[in-house]
Structure 1
Amino acid sequence: MTTATAVYEQAVEGFGTVRVVPVDPDRDAPLIHAWVNEERARFWGMGGTSVEQVREIYAHLDSLTTHHGYLVSRDGEPVALFQTYDPEADRVGECYEVLPGDIGVHLMLAPIASPEPGFSGRLLGTLVEFVLRDHTRVVVDPDAANEKAIARMVRAGFEPGPEVVLPEVDLPEVFIPEKKARLAFLTR
């Protein structure tokens, strides 16, 4: 991961250097596969996938101009999978009034051997800084049953929005089942 070109890098005092690097489906599929197949990642919706399926999903994502996948590292260690998307080009755009300057994000933290107080908040704050450079509002749509993620967003300053049903996506290249989600927004 250290050889890839970062799209964003920030030294965070007392935390470390955070690098955001585009996912390389061939290089990163084994790591992402290990993360998404853990029980703790059930809300990510990729449980039961093979390494090849993960590679194909991220190769498809990489082919889009509206959706982007990133591996996030701290001091050279992969710590999160981060995705950004244009809400108008995503199913979430059917569930709320998309405003100019909106960007959607998904974040999955890597498994952590020993929890570090304040880690997720500091990492999330850095990633919000990254996306708000070019946008005015961040939109998140965690699973409505994912109380930990919703509480984390609220602690980070997101305003809870409505609970919505994200419609099923059934295309030749991708299938995503319907999902109850809790929208939340953070304005610059």
Structure 2
Amino acid sequence: MTFAFRPLDPLKDAELLHGWLTHPKAAYWMMQDATLVDVERAYMDVAADEHHHALLGLDEHGVPAFLMEKYDPAHRELVGLYEPLPGDVGMHFLTPATDKPVRGFTRSVITAVMAHLFEDPAARRVVVEPDVSNEAVHALNGAVGFVPEREIRKPEKMALLSFCTREQFMVATGVAA
């Protein structure tokens, strides 16, 4: 599967995101009770933040297929929870719920997200901090080369701090980055 990326437009894309983020499948995003205005505000904050960016992943027809966020862990999400290295980039991704699952879709998405992040030559290592109970995402992370380091306490959850270098990604996926 081939994907393209475009910056998220907080106002234009809020309705789409609202449906994705409030679905029970997206429980780990902790926005189940968010209103449309809550989603608009949250992503307007992201758009205004020089250290946090939201992108939509588009399928081969240009249709939004997933959400990707990248952030600087030295300034967002993980401040004070680990010692960031030069070239660290934080990442979140969300594939929406569907009535017609496509086998391998989510793995294709995380592979595309990682390849996109490593297109930036300054990106040396991707950092993630999923909920410790999110077994599905731990398996996906492992499939693209992430290695768990330790559990950390964030204000909203217990998280599994994990890292993936460019080399680990290439070995795990065979994708040149």
TM-score by length of 1: 0.83
**DSSP-derived class of the 1:114 partner:** coil
Code of the aligned partner of 1:151? A
Which segment drifts farther, 79-88 or 150-159? 150-159
Which segment drifts farther, 90-99 or 66-75? 90-99
**DSSP-derived class of the 2:12 partner:** helix
**DSSP-derived class of the 1:25 partner:** coil
Deviation (angstroms), 1:45: 1.1
- Equivalent pairs, count: 163
Aligned to 1:158: 146
**DSSP-derived class of the 2:132 partner:** coil
Code of the aligned partner of 1:137? R
Aligned to 1:122: 108
**Distance in 1 (alpha carbons) for counterparts of 2:9 and 2:51:** 17
**DSSP-derived class of the 1:65 partner:** coil
Residue 39 (structure 1) aligned with residue 24 (structure 2): yes
Residue 52 (structure 1) aligned with residue 37 (structure 2): yes
**DSSP-derived class of the 2:93 partner:** strand
Deviation (angstroms), 1:113: 2.2
The runs of 5 or more residues in structure 1 that have no matched partner are: 1-14, 169-177
Aligned to 1:183: 161
Greater strand share, 1 or 2?
1
The runs of 5 or more residues in structure 2 that have no matched partner are: 167-177
Q: How does 1:35-184 map to 2 (within 5 A)?
A: 35-75=20-60, 76-134=62-120, 135-166=123-154, 168=155, 178-184=156-162
**DSSP-derived class of the 1:42 partner:** helix
Give a deviation string over 1:1-31, Cα, whole Å, max 9, x none.
Answer: xxxxxxxxxxxxxx23x11111101100000
**Distance in 2 (alpha carbons) for counterparts of 1:85 and 1:33:** 21
Q: CA RMSD in A?
A: 1.1
